[in-house]
Structure 1
Amino acid sequence: MHCKRKICLCALLCGILFVMIATQTMHRTNFLPIAMAALLPVGVAMPAGTPSEVTVELDGVSCGCETCVADLGQSEWFDQHYEPQQQPFLTAQNTSLPALTLKWWMRLQRSTGETVEEVLEKMFQVISSPLPDWPPRQDRCRTCAVVGNSGNLLGSKFGPLINSHTTVIRMNKATTLGFEEDVGNRTTHHILYPESAVDLPPGVHLVLLPFKLRDIQWVVSALTTGEIKSTYMRVKNLVKADKDKVIVVNPTFFKYTHDKWTEHHGRYPSTGMLALIFSLHICDEVSVFGYGADQKGNWHHYWEKNKLSGAFRKTGVHSADFEMQVIKKLAAEGKIKLHTV
């Protein structure tokens, strides 16, 4: 009897040693749950909550890049602001908004008529629900270029570098025609709202920033009947875009950006700030271009000559100066690469 116990104890110790060796040599795979299952008697289920098809982070590395935005424990400041569990966009399975989010979001710009639930239900009858694949994975490396519209891009010759990223995010009225050498010509995600809408080429994700419920109603209309022709101003009533590639940023993500990143500076974050924080949650390495003033301190778009330099710094709605402080801090903490000339 004692001999049998010794044999069982020896087998158990060997099994534990096997798992320890496996976790060291295969630390970037899903090996741990498999090894645990191998030690259990036949017919005994894995403990509740044990991961079976998700990446197990044993060494803290969250992606397959040389550096990963989502890795925590490297910057105390970043860890205090970044919330990995935030869901950056809506899917058909996560349309429920928390009460505090709903109250804050609905007060940004007044909306009347249908309820949020009714609007979202109609939206997902028109657009495809995107896959909830934003969390990082150790078997992929998503490099992203977030391209702002600042005049500081002129003469930069950043075009080839921007194009080299797997994901290229542009926003609002951004144009590339005639500026390819400085801004590139690839776009995978174009962030906009009704008042800044443009037609998009096939294959480009339309990423809607819904500042109000009317914006979600508009995107449904703009992709179908074109009946909505105005919000608080006249807007483009029909938009050319791929219905299967429409992404709607989660209003809860708006509030998170406002609370944690811009810290209530301004009434709500700017498009550029939302685009950047959005990229921190869907990308593994983030490079930022075209943010801030130009070399002479002027704030204007690279495709126009704006004589009213500085007009966009403080609009009463956003705080461009504070947002630039946050962007520079992200760069200083090694979480983004901020490209300037």
Structure 2
Amino acid sequence: MYRCRTCAVVGNSGNLLGSHYGGAYIDNHDFVFRMNKAPVQGYEKDVGSRTTHRIMYPESATHLDNNTHLVLLPFKISFQGYEKDVGSRTTHRIMYPESATHLDNNTHLVLLPFKISCGSPVMVMHPAFMHYVHNAWLHIKSRRSYPSTGFLVLIFAMHICDEVNVFGFGANSKGTWHHYFEKTPKSFKRTGKHSGGIECETVLELHKRRLMDLYTGW
């Protein structure tokens, strides 16, 4: 992946609804990153229509079109140490993306994108980068907590793009946290195994320092 001049990191927050960020705000960037299977159809006015890269878990990477670069996050692959018993070693495992969960780290993982349209290039984010974000940016000590997909993509974008603009992060104007594509929005404040509070503070600090621009709706 080459370095880009401008990129839009588009999260899934409900603050996108009514924002009119589509078109000139989002679609005009060189790269447009989206997380998981967040839809654009029917929401183009607020979220844009272009997607250059879609980042998601391997098990979710099925039945996608071939208009974007697919970047897989091997979150659920274990990297706790190498198997010392040489007799049980496997050098390569070849499998479908949706099966690539709960694996050890003594093999090279080769993903078969058979259920992805043939024209879709597939990349895998290196676990070392994920470890770097975990330790250097969030200072997370617990192994049970890990960066959210959105935060990983934001830091990734800052490493490859000259200008980073962030959309669809945080709560809406009423302080509610929900996804823009939910028909019946369910407010959530817990972030599961993600350090949501630390991530939010870090994003706001990056915006304050003008290292990226955060758009939070109108």
TM-score relative to the length of structure 2: 0.78
Partner of 1:277: 155
Q: Give the alignment of 1:176-215 within 5 angstroms.
A: 176-213=40-77
Match of 1:263 among 139, 160, 167: 139
2:211 corresponds to: 335
* Corresponding position of 2:8: 145
Counterpart residue number, 1:289: 167
Using the TM superposition, give the Cα deviation of residue 242 of structure 1 relative to its aligned residue in structure 2, in angstroms. 4.5
| Structure 1 or 2: more helix by fraction | 1
Counterparts in 2 of 1:323 and 1:265: CA distance versus 1, 3 Å? farther
- Structure showing greater Rg: 1
Q: Indicate which of 86, 89, 96 corresponds to 1:221.
A: 96
**What letter corresponds to residue 14 of structure 2 in structure 1?**
G
**1:231 shift after superposition:** 4.2
SS of alignment partner, residue 26 of structure 2: helix
Equivalences, count: 191
Structure 1: gaps of 5 or more residues: 1-130, 135-140
Q: Alignment identity in percent?
A: 49
| Greater relative contact order (CA < 8 Å, ≥ 6 in sequence) | 2
How many Å separate the matches in 2 of 1:177 and 1:243?
Answer: 21
- How much has 1:179 moved relative to structure 2? 0.2
CA shift digits 1:308-340 (9 cap, x unpaired): 4124x331x112121011011111111101111
For the Cα contact (< 8 Å) 1:150–1:302, is it kept in 2? yes
Unaligned stretches of 5+ residues in structure 2:
79-91, 103-112
1:198 shift after superposition: 4.5
CA deviations 1:275-308 (Å, max 9, x no partner) are 1111111211100000011222221110004554
Partner amino acid, structure 2, of 1:263 = H
8 A Cα contact 1:300 1:306, kept in partner: no
Q: Which amino acid aligns with 2:173?
A: Q
Distance in 2 separating the partners of 1:243 and 1:212: 26
Instruction: After TM superposition, give the deviation of residue 241 of structure 1 in Å.
Output: 4.1
- Please give the per-residue CA displacement for 1:15-55, whole angstroms capped at 9, x wherever unaligned: xxxxxxxxxxxxxxxxxxxxxxxxxxxxxxxxxxxxxxxxx
Distance 1:325 1:203, change over 3 A: same
Question: What TM-score results when the alignment is normalised by the length of structure 1?
Answer: 0.51
Pairwise CA RMSD: 2.6
Q: Are 1:250 and 2:149 counterparts?
A: no
Query: Residue in 2 aligned with 1:314?
Result: 191
